[in-house]
Structure 1
Amino acid sequence: MVESLEETPEDNSENNPENKTSEFLEAEKGARIFDSHDHVCLGGTFDRLHNGHKILLSTGALLTKRSMLVGITSDRMLKNKHLAPLIQSFNRRRSDLQCFLLDIGFPKSKLEIVELTDAYGPPAYRSEFGCIVASAESVNNCHKLNEIRTSHGLNPVRIEAIDLVNEPRPGFESLPDEVYEPKLSSSMHRFNLLGTLLRPVNVDAVNHRKARLPYVIGLAGPSGAGKSALARRLANVSPSVHVVDCDKLGHEAYRPDTPCYKALLNHFGFEAIACPEPPHEIDRAKLGKIVFADAQRLAELNQLVWPEIERQVQEFLVQLEEKSSNSKSPDSRPIVILDAAVLLQANWNRFCDEVWIAILTKEEAQRRISERGHLSCQVAAERLARQAGAIAEATGGLDWWDVGQVDTGCGPVGRAHVVLSTQWEPECSQKQVEKAFKLLKERLS
């Protein structure tokens, strides 16, 4: 997709890119002389535009005589990146890039922005380019690009490699090696977002629950994401944390002689879902065969069970408030972790002060589900696919693994106030939990 941009006067010395980019290039290359070219290209993810990106863009601007093409990787191509759901949307990345180039005075008329849907983009088949600007780590891909150009009868492009300055490794002993990059890195930036507040808390939450004192955090994520393990870690951090397991509340709703039990028998039929022996408990295997084969029947089940689970949660909050209101401890305000896989689908987030989302790669989720439940990879993949469809339907069309959620408000991560990940070693999860809880206590103080 090509972005059409209008003209900016080129005779304004104050906006000249050669004046505005010197702070980047002087530090990086000193007195090095760059050869200019009529047509220059460069590409990348450009997530959370940092100084490394700015050096590349500024170099391209200085080298350009007539036009510069910038390729920005599409959302779809970034699903396998580290912490992909925290990557900004294509539109946001394009907007930030445009603003930076305008700030350094690069003329709009010389700029062409394309969405990259493959590794090489237009330079693989368009003849006009004479130079590509790239980080030192991307030089091998540039050589492959030249091989493709040569095979198409095109001249190879000059490779202008920029060797970015190393950043010191952060003092986080549990930082995964696969995330750490010594150069300026968007992956590191995304990792540092884990446990931090991404958007303002839900100030309207107290109006949707009967108890005002408890601070309620809804914790959700796909199967295998380690929600329950994170909830246990949070409970171990402070005695003020109380965990509500909504899956267990669902089991309670199925107990014989409860209103929900009677409603289920009336709706699905005694013979279809009840055990024949007294006390005629709900046969979850029978019920599962009915609802998982028919989306409409599953929706009917949820409409019966979810309100009962919410009623139990609200009742627990009231009881906790009554118990805590007499305490004189400075840490007496209870924090409730609502461990709920269907938090967003059931709209329970409306009475949560914050939503915390656990993420991990789809491949790791599938591996954990297979291992834990002794299931085939295909069965695990099908289960995740059903969950992905359900969460996408409830949150604007994006699922647990899609890029472009955090800045658009779409998808589960787009609804999250805090994101955590159990992708790596348990020590890494523990550090995230401690960081998240420390920041939470600061918000509540």
Structure 2
Amino acid sequence: MGRIVIGLTGGIGSGKSAARRWLEALGCVGIDADKMAHLAYKAGTPGHACIVAEFGSRVVDAAGEIDRRALGGIVFGSPDARRRLERIVWPRIADVVASAIEHVGEGRNLDGSEAAAPPGGTVWLPADSPDACDRPAAVSTLARAISAASPGPAGEVAEPGDVDLAGAGLVRAEAPRPIVVLEAAVLLEAGWDAAADVVWSTFVDRERAVERILGRDGHARDEAERRIDAQMSIGARLRRSSSAFDTSGQVARTRADLALALGELARANGRP
């Protein structure tokens, strides 16, 4: 069975995980490459053995697994160490991700067991697809509808799954094929975009990214900036993307923009 694969990327703190969760709420199947990475170097795997051989026991936690925080502290401070790690893990993660995509729509988990809720091809989409000239107005209109359909006090961000999608004016539709959202910070650097039909990028300005990292991860400011500097630049990423989403504004607006893009993608791939 064919799948439509959205490669979703963006720098640290750019809101790509929030974008994936919203697309999942709309009916897409989300795959988080960062979480898939754990399978590529679990204790007992060749990937685990190679990392320990390269970086030593200091990157192994008490449970025998790779201590990602300790490993990150090494590689984010050294381009050479980062390249050595990438040579070990990127090909292995690519294999795990390819297997995950292959299982979509088959009702099976990565280990071959039956999935609790096999994903289908039903998604929530805007009723109409505006042309390029009308799109900004359509985003604003849909953003207001999504905000009104979100529970909680005004200004409070509702979880994606709590939004009344029908109340926001979205309609259930059969997608031509299951739509997969592959989230990966290094989608482009690792060459994993080869598995995607389109590449979508999220972005924010540097200062906002730093603020999000400080509030979420508890890193010191210099550590947050070091991690940002270790990434592909926003400009380089956007030049290789099919669509780009500025997440610095209201959440409802970003969600509206993503919903419209999803509708356009579904229609371009055969949805009437």
- 245 and 321 in structure 1: CA distance in 2 versus 1, 3 angstrom threshold: same
Shift of 1:432: 0.6
Contact 2:74 2:81 (C-alpha < 8 Å) held by counterparts: yes
3-state DSSP class of the match of 1:244? strand
- 285 and 431 in structure 1: CA distance in 2 versus 1, 3 angstrom threshold: closer
Work out the CA distance in 2 between the residues paired with 1:439 and 1:285: 39
1:145-171: CA deviations, max 9, x gaps?
A: xxxxxxxxxxxxxxxxxxxxxxxxxxx
The number of aligned residues is: 210
Does residue 293 of structure 1 match 2:80? Answer: no
Does residue 439 of structure 1 match 2:264? Answer: yes
Alignment match, 1:264: 51
* Seq. identity, %: 31
- 383 and 293 in structure 1: CA distance in 2 versus 1, 3 angstrom threshold: closer
Does residue 359 of structure 1 match 2:203? Answer: yes
Alignment match, 2:10: 221
Work out the CA distance in 2 between the residues paired with 1:434 and 1:338: 16
Work out the CA distance in 1 between the residues paired with 2:9 and 2:251: 18
| Structure 1 portions without partners, runs of 5+ | 1-211, 392-398, 403-410
Superposed, 1:173-184 pairs within 5 Å as none
3-state DSSP class of the match of 1:249? helix
Alignment match, 1:36: none
Alignment match, 2:252: 427
Shift of 1:274: 2.4
3-state DSSP class of the match of 2:260? helix
Q: 1:246 aligns with which of 19, 23, 33?
A: 33
Contact 2:14 2:247 (C-alpha < 8 Å) held by counterparts: yes
Shift of 1:350: 1.4
1:319-375: CA deviations, max 9, x gaps?
A: 225459xx8985361111011001011011112110001111122112211222233
Does residue 369 of structure 1 match 2:213? Answer: yes
AA in 2 matched with 1:436: A
Work out the CA distance in 2 between the residues paired with 1:375 and 1:308: 28
Work out the CA distance in 1 between the residues paired with 2:176 and 2:268: 15
Contact 1:213 1:321 (C-alpha < 8 Å) held by counterparts: no
Q: 2:186 aligns with which of 342, 366, 384?
A: 342
The CA RMSD measured in Å over matched residues stands at: 2.5
3-state DSSP class of the match of 1:290? helix
- 426 and 312 in structure 1: CA distance in 2 versus 1, 3 angstrom threshold: same
Give the TM-score normalised by structure 2.
Answer: 0.70
Alignment match, 1:273: 59
Alignment match, 2:66: 282
- 320 and 328 in structure 1: CA distance in 2 versus 1, 3 angstrom threshold: closer
1:212-248: CA deviations, max 9, x gaps?
A: 601111101111111011111111112xx10000111
- 265 and 382 in structure 1: CA distance in 2 versus 1, 3 angstrom threshold: closer
| Structure 2 portions without partners, runs of 5+ | 109-119, 123-173
3-state DSSP class of the match of 1:341? coil
Give the TM-score normalised by structure 1.
Answer: 0.44
Alignment match, 1:379: 223
- The higher-RCO structure (CA 8 Å, 6+ apart) is 2
